[in-house]
Copies of this chain bind each other. A is one copy, B any other.
């Protein structure tokens, strides 16, 4: 049940068995059916979720209804709108299951309790966000400095399992191009 999540948090700091037990006792399982939402824009995000199984995406809609995918999240990643979660402000994000998914969640209450009982988790969460920030810096660079074709190739190399699980429509949005144009990039690669 908790094997994967324990392995995940132990990447940053070696917790004792006792500390891990405390951690595990505060996690709640949550199953999400495909196409259902973990969070919708306008709501406050009340979960920080570890993905045991499944695949989700985090996206926003602008005024004209155009979708922008910020993240795909799969097994052994965490997913949340951490800003909304932390400040208890309304989120701009939609977090939607792309497959039936099994999550383990923390709420603001259980997270506080965890940090109180095992203060070293504070560092773990900091390091997790730091990694995430590094990823976002890389994405911003790639979208500013690289062509759509290069971004697509980099994406395939970095996340080879995602394209098999996610529609091209969503990948295009993640890359910041239209589905039609992504299709043309693929056609060009094929020959």
Which residues of chain B have C-beta atoms less than 8 A from A146's C-beta? Answer: 62
From B62, B86, B125, B136, give the contact of A145 (CB < 8 A). Answer: B62
Residues of B within 8 A of A127 (CB): 86
Once A141-B68, A145-B62 are accepted as A-B contacts, the answer to whether A82 and B130 lie under 8 Å apart by CB is yes
Chain B neighbourhood of A143, CB < 8 A: 140, 143-144, 176
CA distance A82 to B176 in the complex (A): 26
The reply on A126 being an interface residue by CB < 8 A is yes
Q: Is the CB of B132 within 8 A of A133?
A: yes
A134 adjacent to chain B (CB < 8 Å): yes
CA distance A52 to B61 in the complex (A): 38
Q: C-beta contact mask, A86-127 vs B, less than 8 Å → 1, else 0? A: 100000000000000000000000000001000100110111
Chain B residues with CB under 8 Å of A130's CB are 82-83, 86, 129
Residues of B contacting A141 with CB < 8 Å?
Answer: 60, 68, 70
Given contacts A66-B145, A122-B126, A145-B62, contact A136 B134 (CB under 8 A): no
Known: A60-B141, A83-B130. 13 other contacts (CB 8 A): A82-B133, A82-B134, A83-B131, A86-B127, A119-B119, A119-B122, A126-B129, A129-B130, A129-B133, A132-B133, A133-B133, A136-B137, A143-B144
